[in-house]
Each structure stands twice: as structure tokens, then as C-alpha cells.
Structure 1
Amino acid sequence: MPPKTAQKLAPFDVYVRWRPLPDEPGTTSIEKSTAESGDYQSVSISQPASSSSSSRGTRSWSSAASFTRIFEPTDDNKAVFDDVVSQAFPRILAGKTCNFFAYGHTGSGKTHTIVGYDHSDPSQTGLSLAAARALFDKLAQLNESLPPDADRESERLAVGLRMYEVRKKSAFDLLNGRTECHVREGPDGKTHVRGETESLEGGKVRVRPILIKPCFTYDSLLESLEAGLALRATGTSTVHDKSSRTHAVFELEIVNNALINARDAVIERHSELVPHGKHATDVYLAENSKGYIVGPDGKYMLNPDYTIDQARIDAAEATKREYEERLEAAEAHVQQIFASSRHPCLGGKFVFVDLAGSEYYDQKASSSAAASKQTAEERQEGRQINSDLFALKEVIRARSSGQARIPFRSSPLTMVLREHFLGSEGGFSAMILTVSPAAEQYAATMNTVKYGNLVGMAGGEK
């Protein structure tokens, strides 16, 4: 089936990708069929009557026409990239954000789809690396077009790589030694993912965000990505010997040295402001604690023996304001770099999310063999993953229906993805359901397709 190149993209497209049937003796296949309705497709699945696996009373199921395309087992990663990801490049080069999610039970091919295992084979390279390679080719053309008077050291475009994983209520920076970062909502209403507080000389306090590594060649990006992958948390589960226990996020942002340096300056100005802000607060509290006493009636009253040193408070506040202005100037400089960039692509971003294995989402029945073998830690992880995936679906539903309140706070995963969703206005988001045709995986496959059907129906007019 050829790509629908003329198709108008929905706000959130959903694709189904069947993996090949495992080459194991006695493996039987799910009975499946596909139907088209306009630009969209539906899928029907049935469990063979001879299958010994339990479907908890459900023998067949059919989706609505909610899928943009259904990939067959013979479609390799390149086919998925050409149909799903390549169409996002005009948006990325216009400075937009495009999000791609891989959802499915463990062993269905999520990591193979997003990252791939053979990085030297173009047909097997994961979507994130294929996007990076193509992005470097396009940036090379833009860099060659820089005029002679350009500051090439500052303006030369590169790909900034961020890699982190979300587990329970924390994020772990895979390019910074798997440093644990905290997911918090700031007073500005934005979600901030930052590491532990560092104490520096002169009373400075620095809290670093997720590290971004600027890469000027594909080989350097591949080297950094492979080093980060080695730190990803996997382990033996009841389902898979290398089960993903986390949601892994891979960001590819178009950056240059001017932008990187400007963002570093914002972090530095923050670190300078903290001690002065704390000093101003301490002075205010100290003066007021001496300036007021508890009167006979138990209420606070002015202390007749002490006069509040307002000049001291004002001096501390003035110093604090000076450093606040420095921070504001640094933040304004970041925006100025975007505004003055020769290319609108600066800040354009690919976001690839390898979601945790959804067998946890399905295994609610303690009577199932796999669920009964789960450890207490696996069950706890399962509840969190279940909550994350449900929250993601509800965020997609709320955004697509134009609700005033989007429930980003429902889980750490959706909090982390908040800025990506909000930054994707004019961009493109898609989910790829990875499913197995093996009859023994029927329940997991059915639940994956059901989830994707709900997302697809919520993601746009079908």
C-alpha cells in the first residue's frame, strides 16, 4: 500500500505495526483482517479456536476506522520512517515540534521501531536515528548557505540530543550519568525537569535541567545515543528478558552554539540570583521578627523597643532586583536569538517516546499465569505504568476536543511531555502501535489495538 502523500494530517495520527510471527515450533497466528473507510483503516482480530491462551471470554474484536495506516510484518523500519516521520520535516524546518510515540506490550517491537538494534542497516535503523541522519543532511545544506559575513562558530546549525527516561515519579538523565531529576511545576505554570541542587562557590546554587548535547555530525550523535542507551533501566520480567521498565524520551532539537550558550547563561544567572533572593528573604524575616512582638491580647503589635530597619530591607531587595533583571535579560537574549536567526528551523524538535511495555496495562487479573508470577515491585511499576498510559490517552482526548483544561498533572509522564504537546501547535503527533500476531499474545494485542483505537478516535475527525 503506497504512502498517502496527499492526505491531510489529523491532529494525532495512529498507526498499527504488526511484527513478524516468531519463528518457533507450534506458534499459531491471530486471524486478522483490514478494511478501509475513506482515508482511514480498521482492523479486526480473532483468536484461533485451537489456541490454548486465555482471552478472558473474548474471541474476536474489531476497531473503528481510526488508523492512518496498518503496516504489515514485511514492512521494515525504513517503510515506517518514509510514511510516518518523513512528512514531518517541513514542520520541523519551520521550527515546530513533532511527537512520535511507540505503544505496545513488551517484545512487540517498540524499541526496535524507535531506536533499532542494527544501526548500520538503513532498513533496520530506528525512527529516531533515521530522523537524525536525514536532519543532518538538511542542516548541511542550510549551513552551506550561510553568507560569508556569518559567524559560523555561533550560527552553524547542529542537532541537540536529550535522552532521559521517566520511571515512577522521577526522570533520569541518560546523557549525564543517569542523574535523577525531579519533575516539578514551577510558579510560571511550566513543568521543569531538573537535577539535584548543586552548591557552588560564592553561595551560588545551581539546578541543572536535562542535559542537551550539541552534535555536529551523525557519528557523534550515534556515539552519544549508544552511550545513553547503555544506562537505560531494563531487567528480566515475567514477560521479557529485557523488559523496558521506563518511558524513554529522545529529543532531537535544531540548535546552534549561540542558542546553547544563551541557555547556559540563563542557568548561570539563576545560580547567581538564588543567594541574593535568599538573603533578601532572610533580611525581611529578621527585621520583622524583631519589629513585632506578641501583645497582651495574644496579637502581634509593633515592638516599642525596636525600629524596623527599612533601609536594610530595601537594600537587600534592590540587590535581588538587580540579579532578577540580569536573569530577565538572559532570558530575553534567548528569545532574541530565535527572532534574529537566519533560519526559522532553530528550535524545531523531534520527540520520540518509547513507552514502557503495556503488558502491565493488561494484566489486572491475578488469576493470569503471568500476573501471578509478578514480583511486588513489578506490580507497583505496573500500577504506575497503567496510570501513565491512561493519563496520556486523556491528555490526547482533552487536547483534541478543545477542552480548556488539559490534565497534564495526572502523571509524571504527561507532566514531562506537557511542553512538547504545547509546543506542537502547527506540528504533528503520531502513535505507532506495535503488536504481535502470535495467538498466545492475543489478549495483549487486543488491548493494544483497543487503546490505539480510543487514541485515534480522540485524536481527530475520522
Structure 2
Amino acid sequence: MPPKKSQKLTPFSVYIRWRPLPEEPGATEIKKTQSSASDGHSVSLSLPDASGPSSSRGARSWTSAPSFTKVFEADDNNRGVYENVVSQTFPKIMAGKTCNFFAYGHTGSGKTHTIVGYDHEDPQQVGLCLSAAKELFQKIDELNGSTESNDNDQKLAVGLRMYEVRKKSAFDLLNGRTECFVREGPDGKVHVRGETETLEDGKVRVKPIRVVPCWTFEELQTVLEKGLDLRATGTSTVHDKSSRTHAVFELEIVNQALVEARDAVIERQAELVPHGKFATDVYIEENTKRYTQGSDGKYITNLDYTINQERIDAAEATKREYEERVELAEAKVQETFTTSQHPCLGGKFVFVDLAGSEYYDQKSSASAAGSKQTAEEKQEGRQINSDLFALKEVIRARSSNQTRIPFRSSPLTMVLREHFLGSESGFSAMILTVSPAADQYAATMNTVKYGNLVAMAGGP
């Protein structure tokens, strides 16, 4: 559905991050230069005629628009990227807003290194997600210490939510990698929920992606690292341990009152389901009895039966009673925000480690690694490219201010919908991770062109 007029399409700040040139014999570097203007940085890329695979030789040079916020060189570490991209958004987070950070690039370009990091003990190499969590705890610990009330329900914590999108499903990394389903609800919002669970008394509960409230940074780091162990990897066209999913990490400021209020909504919805089903069954049953089959096989009105409207009304009244309980529970969630002592409640960081795009050029150096892929992994690679194409089409629609944006094109774009349709006071950034290696010239060019499109996509 098209965005409501009250919604604003949050423009992206786009950054380029060059990874180091691989330490391989004969590795050559593409020609890259950058220039600055009042409205941003532009980059120029070219490949010497004698460099790179035969499929890339003679490739045209290209210069972007001055659309990039900053260009990070190969010697810039994760800490430098964090301070320039993420840390500056804390005023928005502490005002209860949402800030989104996407890592995009071809397979093996350093996306996971940027978002998650591989050395969680080195403060210079910790990924953006854990760095944000650490600073977030420092700020909420100060607020918890200054709170006059001793009410533990108001004590702030960080709720961690981790899941990955693979093919048509999402997988909850904090709940044993339980498969979940991406659906658009009648409220127009996208919901990511697990299998239906049948409880006693006919209750039916469908739990959303699990949120784990963490009260210390050490607790959050432990939970996150356990979730990372469940991420799916496989052989890509570049290496044997490639992330094969789009991973989403959310850090939200919560308190116990908010956690309990949201749990209550799930319980009230579970209570509603059997009564809603019973009301529907009664209505169908009574109206079915109103008709009978004649000798010619056609259905005619059964004049001997009168619909029991009292029975229908009683079932509907009970259903409405439980609907009101759901509404009261949802209102309690909103009340938790309005009565909180801290305006930062609900402030959220969202980090998205997009799966790497893949290229199937038989003349490229990727063909050797690609030949190791199983048929299933090759199919996954095509699905990843399809997801990223859908994401590009969403961005293209944004850039031209179209009234209809194709979020339904893939599960990935459905999941990311709320992060695109944010308030004008929100913030979104994309970090392009690219390789300077000549044999990755086509992939690097594609990534930078993609980012140029994102950066030029403005709001309405």
C-alpha cells in the first residue's frame, strides 16, 4: 500500500568503505579518486587496460555524483567508522527515534566485519552493533542512576532482537533459529511471527520474533554472540564461509513495564482467537441452516428454519468483549510510553547486514569459487540477487517519489519497510563495502552505482 501522507520517506546518508587490497601475488588495484563539493563527495573509478580479468578490460571509467557523505579508506578501522556514522545519531535515539544502518556490497567485501566485527575484544575492531550497544548502556546507566523512583519497572534496559531473512522466511536467532513467516496484517504493518501454537482451552498463540531484554552490556554481548553462532553460511562465488542471509539486529531501549505490556498483548490475542473462531462458526452454521437442497439439486430457502439471531449476537458479544481486552492491552503499551520518566523509551538502532550480491561471470576469478557451490547454494545466490534487485527497485521508486513503492516484491523489502517509511526526524545510512582489487572491478562498480542511487533518493 502507498505510504500515508503523514509519513516521510527518510533520505539516506551513504558512505563508502574501501577494504584493504588482498595480499595475493599479482593483486592489482583499480584507479580510484575522490573529490569534495559543498553537497558531498564524488568518486571516480577506472581500470587500467592491462589489469583485471579479460571480461573487465576496457571497462569504462565512471564518476559518481557528489552524493556520498564520506569515503573511508582501507586503513580506517571500525571505531573510526562508528564515530563518524553511528555515534552522532545518539541525540535522536535518546529522543525515542529510530536510526537505521545498512551494509551493502558484493560477497566478501567486509559487510559482516563492519556490522558485527570478528574481534569483539579489540575496541578498534568491534563492529558497529556492539559499539552502539556499549555506548547505549553507558547512557541508560546514567539515567537509571539519576532516576528518583525506586520502581524497577521503570529501570531502562536494551532489548535485543536478531533474525535473518533467507529465501521466503525469517529465522529467529534468539530462539533456536525458529522459522518465522513474513506477513502483512490487516493494520497494514508487516509482522514477522513464528509457528502457531495451540494452548489449552483452544487458545492460539503466534509469537513474534523474540526480544531479549538485557540489563548489562556483558549480558547483551553473550546473547548476541550465541545468536551469531546460528547464522547460516555457505560457499559463495568468492569464499567458502559467506553469510547466506540478510541479518537484522535491533537494539531498543525498553523497561520491564514495556516488556510486560507487550507480552500481555500476545496473551490477550491468544484468548481472542477461539472466541473469534466460534463467532464465525456460529454465523456460518446458522446461515447454512437457512437453506436446503431441493429435489433438483439447487439450494432454496428453508422456510421451516428461522435463524437464531440471539445465538449469533451472543457469540459476537463475547468476541467483542475479548477484542476490547486486546485493545486495552494495546492501549497499555502506548500508556507505557506516555507515562515513562524517560523520553528515550523505544529509541532503536537497527543494523542490517545484507547478504552479498554475487556475479556469475565465467571469465572472472569468482568462477573457481563458484564452481564449489552446490545446486542449492547457487539457487540461494540467485535468491539473494533477486532480493537485492527488489531492494533496488524500492529505492528507485523512492528516488522518483512514486505513490506506489513495491515493498511486497520480496520478504526482505517487506521486513525493511518500516525502516524506509520512518518519520522525518529519523535517520538512515548505508555503508557500501567495496574491494579495490582489479578482479572485483565490475562488482565494485555495481555497488558504488547502487549507493549513488540510494544517496540521490530523496524524501517526498
Q: TM-score range by the shorter chain?
A: over 0.9
**Counterpart check, 1:379 vs 2:386:** no
Instruction: Kindly provide the amino acid, as one letter, of the partner of residue 448 in structure 1.
Output: T
Q: CA deviation at 1:404?
A: 2.8
SS in 2 for 1:22: coil
The code of the aligned residue for 2:389 comes to F
Q: 195-204 or 305-314, which moves further after superposition?
A: 305-314
In structure 2, what is the Cα distance between the partners aligned to 1:281 and 1:352? Answer: 42
Counting only pairs closer than 5 Å after superposition, residues 160-179 of structure 1 correspond to structure 2 as: 160-179=159-178
Is structure 2 residue 111 aligned with structure 1 residue 110?
A: yes
What are the residue-to-residue correspondences of 1:81-96 with 2, within 5 Å? Answer: 81-96=82-97
Query: Which residue of 2 is the match for residue 416 of structure 1?
Result: 415
Give the match for residue 73 of structure 1.
Answer: 74
Counterpart of 1:289 in structure 2 is: 288
Tell me whether 105-114 or 54-63 shows the greater mean CA deviation.
54-63
Q: Distance in 2 between matches of 1:209 and 1:417?
A: 16
Give, in whole Å, the separation in 2 of the partners of 1:341 and 1:86: 24
2:395 and 2:453 in contact (8 A); partners too: no
Aligned twin of 2:356: 357
The residue type paired with residue 271 of structure 1 is A
Letter aligned with residue 264 of structure 2? A
User: Residues 131 and 424 (structure 1 numbering): CA distance in 2 closer, same or farther, change over 3 Å?
Assistant: farther
Does the Cα contact within 8 Å between 1:160 and 1:212 map onto a contact in 2? yes
For residues 259-278 of structure 1, the aligned pairs below 5 Å read 259-278=258-277
Q: 2:116–2:129: 8 Å Cα contact kept in structure 1?
A: yes
Aligned counterparts of 2:363 and 2:124: Cα–Cα separation in 1: 41
What CA distance in whole angstroms lies between the structure 1 residues aligned with 2:128 and 2:243? 18
Cα deviation, 1:225-252, whole Å, max 9, x if unaligned, reads: 0000000000122311211111000000
User: Hey, what's the Cα distance between the residues in 1 that align with 2:109 and 2:229?
Assistant: 21
- Bigger drift between 85-94 and 297-306 goes to 297-306
TM score, norm. by length of structure 2: 0.93
Distance in 1, matches of 2:155 and 2:75, equals 40
User: How far apart are 1:44 and its partner, in Å?
Assistant: 1.2
Aligned counterparts of 1:127 and 1:228: Cα–Cα separation in 2: 16
CA distance in 1, matches of 2:421, 2:457: 17
Residues 459 and 245 (structure 1 numbering): CA distance in 2 closer, same or farther, change over 3 Å? farther
1:13 corresponds to 2:13 = yes
What is the alpha-carbon distance in structure 2 between the residues aligned to residue 419 and residue 322 of structure 1? Answer: 31
SS in 1 for 2:122: coil
The equivalent of 1:6 in structure 2 is none
1:182–1:193 CA contact under 8 A, matched in 2: yes
- For structure 2, the 5+ residue unaligned runs are 1-9
Match of 1:3 in 2: none
Map of 2:311 onto structure 1 = 312
2:261 match: secondary structure: helix
1:116-155 mapped onto 2 (5 Å cutoff): 116-148=117-149, 150-151=150-151, 153-155=152-154
The TM-score, its normalising length taken from structure 1, stands at 0.92
CA drift of 1:24 comes to 2.2
2:48 and 2:57 in contact (8 A); partners too = no
Give how far 1:299 is off: 6.2
> Structure 1 stretch 417-426 or stretch 292-301: which is displaced more?
292-301
1:197–1:205 CA contact under 8 A, matched in 2 = yes
Structure 1 contact 98–424 (Cα < 8 Å) conserved: no
SS of 2:351's equivalent?
strand
**Partner Cα distance (1:242, 1:266) in 2:** 40
Q: CA deviation at 1:132?
A: 0.4
Specify the code of the residue in structure 2 equivalent to 1:70.
V
Match of 1:33 in 2: 33
- The amino acid of 2:25's aligned partner reads P
Give the root-mean-square deviation of aligned CA atoms: 1.9
Distance 1:445 1:39 in 2: 23
- More divergent stretch after superposition (243-252 vs 17-26): 17-26
The equivalent residue for 2:224 is 225
Equivalent residue number for residue 434 of structure 2: 435
1:262 and 1:443 map into 2 onto residues whose CA distance is 50
Q: Give me the whole-angstrom Cα distance separating, in 2, the residues matched to 1:311 and 1:411.
A: 46
Offset, 1:300: 4.5
CA distance in 2: counterparts of 1:412 and 1:45, whole angstroms: 33
User: AA paired with 1:41?
Assistant: H
Match of 1:7 in 2: none
1:247 paired residue number: 246
Percent of matched pairs sharing the same residue: 74
> Number of paired residues?
447
Contact 2:182–2:414 at 8 Å: present in 1 too?
yes
Aligned to 2:6: none
Q: What pairs with 1:193-208 in structure 2 (closer than 5 Å)?
A: 193-208=192-207
Query: Amino acid of the residue matched to residue 35 of structure 2?
Result: A
**Structure 1, unaligned stretches of length 5 or more?**
1-9
The C-alpha deviation readout for 1:305-353, integer Å capped at 9, x for no partner, is 2222211111111111111010010001101111111111111110000
2:47 is aligned to 47
Whether the 8 Å contact between 1:183 and 1:416 is mirrored in structure 2 is yes
Output one character per residue of 1:4-59: Cα deviation in whole Å (capped at 9) or x when no partner.
xxxxxx82111000011122222111111111121311111222333241316514
By how many angstroms is 1:164 displaced? Answer: 0.2
SS in 1 for 2:249: strand
After superposition, the Cα gap between the structure-2 partners of 1:301 and 1:425, relative to the gap in structure 1 and judged at 3 Å, is farther
SS across alignment from 2:86: helix
CA distance in 1, matches of 2:116, 2:72: 18
Q: Please tell me whether the aligned partners of residues 49 and 57 of structure 2 are also in contact (alpha carbons under 8 angstroms).
A: no
Q: Deviations over 1:41-97 (max 9, x none)?
A: 111122233324131651422222111100011111111011111111111111111
Contact 1:88 1:98 in 2 (8 A): yes
- Deviation by residue 1:349-387 (Cα, 9 ceiling, x = unmatched): 1000000011x2x43x56656457354323322332222
Indicate conservation of the 8 Å contact 1:194/1:207, yes or no. Answer: yes
Instruction: Provide the C-alpha distance between the structure 1 equivalents of 2:374 and 2:193, rounded to a whole number of angstroms.
Output: 31
In the TM superposition, what is the alpha-carbon distance from 1:298 to its structure 2 partner? Answer: 6.9
Cα distance in 2 for partners of 1:56, 1:33 equals 19
Q: Quick one: which amino acid aligns to residue 356 of structure 2? A: G
